[in-house]
Amino acid sequence: MKRREAIAAMGAGAMAMNGVAPPTWERFRRWMQDPQAQHFFGEAELPTVRVLADMIIPRDDKSGSATDAGSIEYMDFVLSESNDRAKQAWHDGLRWLDEECGRRFQKPFVQCDDTQRGGVLDDIAWPARARADLQPQVDFFNRARDLTASAFFSSRMGVMDLGYLGGVFNPDWQGAPPAALRELGVSYEEWDRKYGGA
């Protein structure tokens, strides 16, 4: 499984687990068109979110980055509708990134180079290896990774990245592989005998 496939799998269903209701496309569209809409990210947080999201899903030879896909706008919308606990966790997590980079490197997260930022994120990206006192930051990074993945892989760019072909007729489909049918204990012949093949 490739990195993007793994991130996509982790993002599926993660919003509900983190107190974030899955929004409808219609509500998102209306929110994007409303100049009075309530935004979640403050001006000081937006640069940090953009850098963080692009570290989670960077541009590669297959497609653009999280920000290229419009993920930040979607994340902003989702978080604007989330519960107070989720909102506070995001504000606290973004503030911690700047504070930790300030402590280590005497500059905020966005001014650090990739190696410095990567070192900070490595401390919170692996729950089994993280120090116990960093649990709130680990939880934040898991939320950030999951929401970034949900935003990216629900965008047009993300769907193209996955190569999803739902709703497209495949005239060359030959059926399930024999090994998969054997593992399930089924066969096309048995189906035809039972239900009448064409």
Tens-place pLDDT, residues 39-90: 899 999 999 999 999 999 999 998 999 999 999 999 999 999 889 999 999 9
23: confidence class by pLDDT, cuts 50, 70, 90: low
Range of the domain at 152: 3-167
Residue 192 lies in a domain: no
**Residue 37 or residue 60, greater confidence:** 60
Asked whether the predicted pLDDT for residue 142 surpasses 70, the reply is yes
Q: Would you state the structure tokens that stand for residue 83, as one six-digit string? A: 């519960």
Give the pLDDT mean for 152-164: 85
Assess if residue 197 is contained within a domain.
no
Residue 23 lies in a domain: yes
CA 37 to chain centre: 23
The answer as to whether 40 is a domain residue is yes
- Is 46:98 a contact under the CB 8 Å cutoff? no
pLDDT at residue number 12: 45
CB 48 within 8 A of CB 94: yes
* Residue 48 lies inside a defined structural domain of this protein: yes
Q: Return the pLDDT at 1.
A: 47
Overall domain count for the chain: 1
- Confirm whether pTM is higher than 0.75: no
87 domain-assigned = yes
Residue 16: both structure tokens together: 């509900």
Residue 161, pLDDT score: 86
Is the per-residue pLDDT at 15 higher than 50?
Answer: no
- Is there a domain that residue 98 lies in? yes
